[in-house]
Structures are given as C-alpha cells and as structure tokens.
Amino acid sequence: MSSHQQTVHDQFDPQATAYLHSAVHAHGPDLQRARQLVEAALPRTGHALDVGCGAGHLSFALAPVLERVVALDASESMLATVQSAAIERGLATIGTRRAAAEALPFADAGFDLVASRYSAHHWTRLDAALAQMRRVVRPGGHALIIDLEAPEDALADTHLQAMELLRDRSHVRNRSHREWQALLAAAGFELIEHMRWPTRLEFADWVGRMRTPAQNVSMIRRMQTEAPAEVRDALAIEADGSFTVHTGLWWARAA
Ligand SMILES: C[S@@+](CC[C@H](N)C(=O)[O-])C[C@H]1O[C@@H](n2cnc3c(N)ncnc32)[C@H](O)[C@@H]1O
C-alpha cells in the first residue's frame, strides 16, 4: 500500500457510519439522474461496478434496476457498512470487494457499467484508474462518473483545492469539466452527457465528517475571509464558512 493509499484508508475507515448518514452523500439529484440514465440504457440483467463506493449510496440507487452491483472500496469498514445496509434495504444483489481503483481485480469486459461517485478526487493515478475501468467494462458498455466539479476559473479552483486539502489530507484534486472530457476521451470513453447541480457544503458538517484538526479549520476560515471578492462570489462563501460548489455527472460510452 502506498503512503497516499494509507492516508485514504486512515481518513475513511473510521468514518463509514458518518458517510452512511451524511445528507450530501445519501441524497441528491445526481443519484436520481444516475438511476434514470442506467434504467434507460441497460437491461435489468445488467452488471455494474461502483468504484470507491464508500457507504454505498450509488450502489443502493442502482441495485433496484440491475441484476448485480459490485461495490468496491479500499476501506473494509465502508464495505462492512455497505453489506449491512444492503441487507437492511433488501438489496441482496449488491456484493462487495476490497481493492484499489488503480488495480481492479476483475476480468476484461465483465461489466455493463462502471461507475464512481465522490471518490475520483482521491485517486492519485486517475488516468490508470480510468484505464482499469475501461478494461473491465464491455465495449459499448457505459461509464458514470459523479464528483465535485472544479471551477474553470484558476483562482477559484486554487482556493477550492487548498480548502479541500486542509480539510482532508487524502484529497488529491477535483477536476473541471474540461479535464474530465480529456480524461474520459484518453481512457477510451465517448462522453454522452454532462450535467451539474449546485451542492451546498454546510461547514460544520463538512469538517466534522473528516475530523479536520482545529488548526486546519482556522486556516480554512482565514483563507475564506481573506479570499478576493471574486472567489467568495464564485464559491458563494457564507458567514459561517459554508459554501457552494457543483456536483458534476459525466455519462459516457465505452468506445
Ligand atoms: C466520499 S467516499 C464515497 C462516497 C460514495 N461513493 C457515495 O456515493 O456516497 C470516498 C470513498 O472512496 C474510497 N477511495 C478513495 N480512494 C480510493 C482508491 N484509490 N481505490 C478505492 N477506493 C478509494 C474511500 O475509501 C472512500 O470510501
């Protein structure tokens, strides 16, 4: 395990219950749109892989319209949480697998859909992980990526990434729409649809979920108050530190 992978594990493994109950993760128009897209494009016999499943919200949204969903994550406690929550919800078609996105332990072309939600910004080798996702999905199958979308504006982007890293040391990078277009094309996916929704991050909840050290919370607050007006506007930074970014959804076909 690399040092970064250990950091990801240390950050997420104790937080599975917090992620199961997090409103930002459990709900959202992206989950509804994901299910609509999958229901319209895949047969009921479809098999999906959810990479970086966390507490399983994307798997829970897709399982009712598919035959099988494999929920994959690097954290064993996230996977245990997915298993018990899936049983509680009567979703017996969800299986779990512990692995890294960059080394998927599956045969070529075995899935009809490869998906990931709010995880790719932790992957150091995103191009390698997307290549793995392309390898395990069948030609003509689909990819569904959901993640916080970086602003195209460089100054707002730098402030967002800095706040993210201070909040969570396992943060690597949120990508912009332009970056996702290039990454998906390079991995062999043809983009079909891109949508985005505003996502308000409530400050106390956002730092609490990652147990951000108090010193870092102060640094984030200071960065926010010292940010130029155009950054405060772009990120809609509020008096209590809450701010609004966008959740992006990229729906693509495996070429
Ligand atoms: C914010 S949570 C995911 C939320 C979840 N997908 C949902 O829809 O609510 C991010 C997850 O990505 C996992 N993760 C991060 N980097 C990973 C990697 N390289 N391979 C596998 N899982 C990874 C973490 O362990 C964590 O559980």
Taking the CA of residue 101 as reference, the ligand 1 atom at the shortest distance is: 20
pLDDT of residue 111: 98
Q: Is 171 in the pocket of ligand 1 (CB under 6 A)?
A: no
151-168, pLDDT tens digit by residue?
A: 999 999 999 999 999 999
Q: What is the pLDDT of residue 118?
A: 98
Q: Decide if 60 contacts 130 (C-beta within 8 A).
A: no
Judge whether 227 lies within some domain.
no
Say which DSSP state 56 is in: S
Q: How many independent structural domains does the chain possess? A: 1
Query: Does 50 reside within a domain?
Result: yes
pLDDT of the residue at 14: 84
Q: Residue 223: in which H helix or E strand, if any?
A: helix 214-226
Of 117, 81, 123, 121, the closest CA to residue 99 belongs to: 123
- Is residue 234 one of the residues assigned to a domain? no
Looking at the predicted structure, is the pLDDT value of residue 1 above 80? Answer: no
Distance CA 243, CA 199 (A): 8
Structural domain of 91: 3-150+170-200+245-254
In 3-state terms, what secondary structure has residue 53?
coil
Amino acid symbol at 191: L
Give the residue-averaged pLDDT of 28-34. Answer: 97
In a domain, residue 218? The reply is no
Cα–Cα distance measured from residue 115 to residue 59, given in angstroms and rounded to the nearest whole number: 9
**pLDDT per position as a tens digit, 58-94:** 999 999 999 999 999 999 999 999 999 999 999 999 9
Q: How confident is the model at residue 209 (pLDDT cuts 50, 70, 90)?
A: very high
**Whether pLDDT at 225 is above 90:** yes
Would the pLDDT of 187 be above 90?
Answer: yes
Mean pLDDT of the chain: 96
Q: Is 210 inside any structural domain?
A: no
Structure tokens at 57: 């919200």
81 pocket-lining for ligand 1 (C-beta < 6 Å)? no
- Residue 71's CATH number: 3.40.50.150
Examine the pLDDT at 35 and tell me if it is beyond 90.
yes
In a domain, residue 235? The reply is: no
Whole-number percent of the chain with pLDDT over 90: 90
Atom nearest to 129 CA in ligand 1: 19
DSSP 170: T
User: Is the predicted pLDDT of residue 25 greater than 90, yes or no?
Assistant: no
Residue among 73, 98, 174, 249 whose CB has most ligand 1 atoms within 8 A, to mutate: 73
Residue 249 lies in a domain: yes
Cα 136 → chain centroid: 19
* Ligand 1 touching residue 146 (CB < 6 A): no
How many CB atoms sit inside 10 A of residue 209's CB? 18
Cα 215 to ligand 1 centre (Å): 25
What pLDDT was estimated at residue 188? 98
- Please check whether residue 226 lies inside any domain of the structure: no
CA 228 / ligand 1 centre spacing (Å): 32
Is 57's C-beta closer than 6 angstroms to any atom of ligand 1?
yes
